[in-house]
Each structure stands twice: as structure tokens, then as C-alpha cells.
Chain A
Amino acid sequence: MLVPPPLHSYTGGVTRVEAEGATLAEVLSDLDRRFPGIRFRMIDEQDRVRPHIRLFVNAALAPAIDRPLGAGDEVQIICALSGG
């Protein structure tokens, strides 16, 4: 998983991390076990991806966290920043 700078406070500055799971949801839960609190920064309490967060799997946009994953898939987290 590629973690963007706004979330480095959770990963201790690490930009590339490993996580396990058969879906994006499971991988994010695994990530949260390792870095508590990081999931809620990206996913709201209804399991929706927050409006300014984008999750890409192998460079393709994943609209929801029920997206299945396979071994070795690369998940990239993007913060879609805008405004002043």
C-alpha cells in the first residue's frame, strides 16, 4: 500500500506498507490494526470512502471498499486536495 503524506503521522513516516486481506475492506482493517485510527481518516462510519480520498488498485480507481484483491495487488491511497 502506498500511503500519502497526510497520513504519515499514523505510519511514522513510512510511505509503503504491507497489509493482508481478500478485499479492500479487509486490507484497510489490517492496516488499522497496525496503525490505529488510520482507517477512519479514509473511510466513514457507514463504510463509505471519504469525499476527498481516492483508493486505486493497480492504478485503477476503486469506487468502494468491497473491491476484491489478489496477492501482490498494489493499493494506492490518494488525497484529492482542492480549495484554498
Chain B
Amino acid sequence: MDGPHDLGGAQGFGPVRFDPDEPLFSHDWERKVFGLTMATSTVGLYNRDENRHARERMPADEYRSTSYFEQWLVAMETNLTELGVLDASALRERVAEFLEEPDREVRGKDQPDLFELFRDTLEFGASLDRPAGPARYSVGDRVRAVRDAKPGHTRLPAYVRGHVGVVHRVDGSFVLPDTNAHHEGESPENTYNVGFSAHDLWGKGDHEVLVDVWESYLEPA
């Protein structure tokens, strides 16, 4: 889908505010959002692609006016209530309670086993590589990124749609986000690193832009 997250080449943005010494988290709530996201994904309450999609389907004006970790918070609230893990009205009531009593601590049982599970995930990763058929394209092939914008989640950046590039690398096969985000199966496909010329993409520039794509995002050119 055309979402507010798909920012490559979007115009109207000013300078990057680069500060090499800024902390990882500006507020304690950001730190908590990061930890909660890692905890709930370690337990497998939702998959990575539906987490991304929950951010991407925020209304565009809301996405643009919220900070990075607030977008992560919205995604957790969306997924945990939509999937029925938490009840939306119970969540609203609990928010109201903490607004009334901002100093109240979160208390409950510890779960050392869950941290051990996280440690395993951290060490061994959560790879989404899965076997698929033989790769349709080879290094050096000219390929065109498909023109259509699919309605749901996808990982094809809009700025390459319809453009012709050259396959630089074949990267193995992985779960397709387009179906996985919607619980429609893993549908593994081969993936490719494809190079596009800036002049072709933007009408100016002398650089090359390399984009990683799933096989169904491409057609022969």
C-alpha cells in the first residue's frame, strides 16, 4: 500500500539533524516501548511484518506528527487489541488509571525464563529464511520493478516501481512480508539486490541506488 512510511525520495524534508552523541532513548517511556516491543515479539504475540504494517496503516497525518517510538507504541496497541490479546476497553481504563496516578509502579511476577528465551533469540536470531524454488533471475539480468501498488503490506519502495534495474546479487529465499503480515502464509521467495541509476529514478544525480526485493516484485525487462 502507499503508506506514510514509504519515504524514499519524498520531497519537502529539511536537513538531517545529526548528533553523534545523542542517547539511544530521549525519555524513559521510549526505553520501555523498545523493551515491550522486544518482549512481546519474543513471546510471539504478533509477527514482525504485522508489527510493521500496524505502523504503516496509521493515518498519514498521525504518522507524520508522531515520534518514532510513539509509532512503535501505536503498533503494539493496535496489534495486541486487534489480535484479542488485550481488551481495548480494559486498556483505555488502565491508561486513565495511570493518568490519575502517574507515580503508581507496575508490579507483578518476574519471569526469568522469558529473559532466557530472549537471550536465545538474541544469540541465534529469528531468521526468516525458508526454502523456495530455483531463482528466476541471475546476476546481470535486467529487471523491472512492478508498477502496481498492492493494497496491503509490501516491502517494495514506491520510488522504484516501474523502473528498470540490474540484479547485483542473489540473496537466498525468505518469508514474503506481503502474505505474512496478513496471516496468509509464509510464501517464501528468492530475494535480490537490484541496482538502479539515480538519473533514471530521479531525473538527476550520478549515484546508484541498490534496493533489496522479493522475486514477485520483479518482472523481466
A is bound by B:
no
